[in-house]
Amino acid sequence: MDENVVIYLVSDSSIDTAEHVAAIAASRFGANISQIKKFPYVGDKNQIDEIAIDASNNKNSLIIHTMVVDELKKHLLKKAQQYNLRIVDVMGPIMDAIEGTTGIPPSDLFFPKRKLDEDYFKKMDAIEFAVKHDDGKDANGILLADVVILGVSRTSKTPLCMYLAHKYIKAANFPLVPEVDPPRELFEIDHNRIFGLMINIDNLVEIRKERLKSLGLDSKAVYAAKDRIIKELNYAKEVMQRLDCTVIDVTNKAVEETASIILNKINKGGL
């Protein structure tokens, strides 16, 4: 009988409270807790839907939440019921006790604005970071980033970083070119924070040809030549192996799919 549990920590603000409670409880079960996934600053129903679907794919999953925005809290409960998921409300009993003592019902008026401000500035900060550290503009950003994205040209590094920024992740990206040595900063950070993007050779040839056409350039240029692309991908593979980073095949993958792989790895590893 598989008794391993995957715990989902969900909050519409900081995850600290849920994480602390879960850590105390999990310490009593040791090896039975196979994974803890963290979802702080959950601000919309779509995020809740994604979490519920992910949790439903695990045989033994448990959601521990500190949601206080009523609309989001109710939606999380609804999804938990829909997928028959176990769910624990950490803040609910405390808030009910305070309401019973004071006779005053809780109000979102005292929470959403502060939360909205926190979410807004956190997202804007991540977006500004992605722009500032796009395409290897500043190697120092590698040391400050939550994640670093590597890959040859036209593997969707920039759109991926912008998508992650909207999930509050500070992402820097760096192009891999055979003629340019990778920055030393890549070898100074945790390899779990680095994600390399690979792609099918023929697919990349077509993508680059279309790019050249859109710029009004000759599609037969070296940039889209198969021999050149093979050289670039082999070099990229070599660098990624040296870094021992996570490699993702982005062939025919939407940016959202690639981002989901990265977010799951982040949540799993607690990065």
Q: Is 151 annotated as a binding residue?
A: yes
Q: Is 17 annotated as a binding residue?
A: no
Q: Is 66 annotated as a binding residue?
A: no
Calpha distance 201→160 (Å, rounded): 20
> Would residue 103 be called left, alpha or beta, if left means φ above 0 and alpha means ψ between -120 and 50 degrees?
left
Calpha distance 149→131 (Å, rounded): 13
**Buried b or exposed e, range 89-98, using 16+ CB within 10 angstroms:** bbbeeeeeee
Q: Is 268 annotated as a binding residue?
A: no
Under 8 Å CB-to-CB from 26, ≥6 apart: which residues?
A: 7, 33, 36
Under 8 Å CB-to-CB from 31, ≥6 apart: which residues?
A: 4
The Cβ of residue 110 has, within 10 Å, a number of other Cβ atoms equal to: 9
Choose among 212, 204, 251, 211: nearest CA to 228. 204
Backbone phi, psi, residue 4, to 5°:
-65, 140
Calpha distance 129→148 (Å, rounded): 12
* Binding site residue list: 151-158
- Residues of the binding site for ADP: 151-158
